Amino acid sequence: MTTFALIGAGPGLGLAAARRFGTAGHSVALISRSAEHQKDLVAELARDNIQARGFTADVLDPGSLTTALRDTADTLGPVEILQFSPVPRGDFMKPVLETTATDLDDPLVFSVKGPVTCVNAVLPGMRELGRGTLLFVNGGSAVRPNPKVAGTSIAFAAESAYAAMLHDALAPENIHAAQLIIPGAIRPDAEHASPDGLAERLYAIHTGRDGFRYYAEPMPT
């Protein structure tokens, strides 16, 4: 059995994605800062007979991510699918003219060093399997800079560049890197941006293995 590793496990999209990939037969690693929240999610997934376990790590602490992902592989099996979708902090979203160089430190660790650390941790296992999927989930500022949220706009753009390079570099190894852009809010009643709908889209990206960037819904004009 291989593992779906979720960076940024939460009760919305995270839980929906964990349920979708778990239902498909993967073990689920829920990686986040809160052990208490992980317990709730593990219990929720157990009701669907999905094997899940929580691993505590902070995206701003690359060492903790490496440890969590190594423990994941040792405990649940090799990571075949990595989803990087933690929610940025509110203080990453200052207007551009109020953003200093220091204000960019944490967003860049969060959205650049975090993904690089995670990918480096899971790549050896994917190469041994001979397959893998790297899923990056971002807001609309990743592709259309928003001066109201400068930190995430800058950091998401860098993450996008990294993910696009991975897509090209890893394709010959049957490791598929892809990005899903969610332009607006995730809402249970949304036609294309509900947690369950987005989880289904992520699973389709994993199985379809075609192309790099996808949009949950059209970008607003």
- Tens of pLDDT along 149-205? 999 999 999 999 999 999 999 999 999 999 999 998 888 888 889 999 999 999 999
| pLDDT at position 184 | 86
Dihedral in degrees, nearest 10, Cα atoms 82, 48, 199, 73? 0
Q: Residue 118 corresponds to which tokens in the numbers above? A: 């995670």
Q: What is the mean pLDDT of the chain?
A: 96
Q: How far is CA 112 from CA 84, 108, 146, 155, in A?
A: 11, 5, 18, 7
CA neighbours closer than 13 Å in the CB half-sphere of residue 129: 19
Task: Supply the pTM of this predicted model.
Answer: 0.96
| pLDDT at position 185 | 86
The average pLDDT across 45-69 equals: 97
Asked if residue 113 lies in contact with residue 62, where contact means CB atoms within 8 angstroms, the answer is yes
Other Cβ atoms closer than 10 A to 86: 23
3-state secondary structure at position 132: strand
Q: How confident is the model at residue 141 (pLDDT cuts 50, 70, 90)?
A: very high
Edge-to-edge strand list for the sheet holding 213-215: 52-56, 27-32, 3-7, 79-84, 132-139, 175-182, 213-215
Domains of the chain by range and CATH?
3-215 (3.40.50.720)
Using the Cα atoms of residue 89, residue 69, residue 84 and residue 161 in order, give the sign of their dihedral: positive
- Which residue bears the tokens 């010959």? 172
pLDDT in tens, 129-139: 999 999 999 99
Of residues 92 and 32, more confidence is placed in 32
Give phi and psi for 30, each to the nearest 5: -100, 110
Q: Residue 77 corresponds to which tokens in the numbers above? A: 């099996």
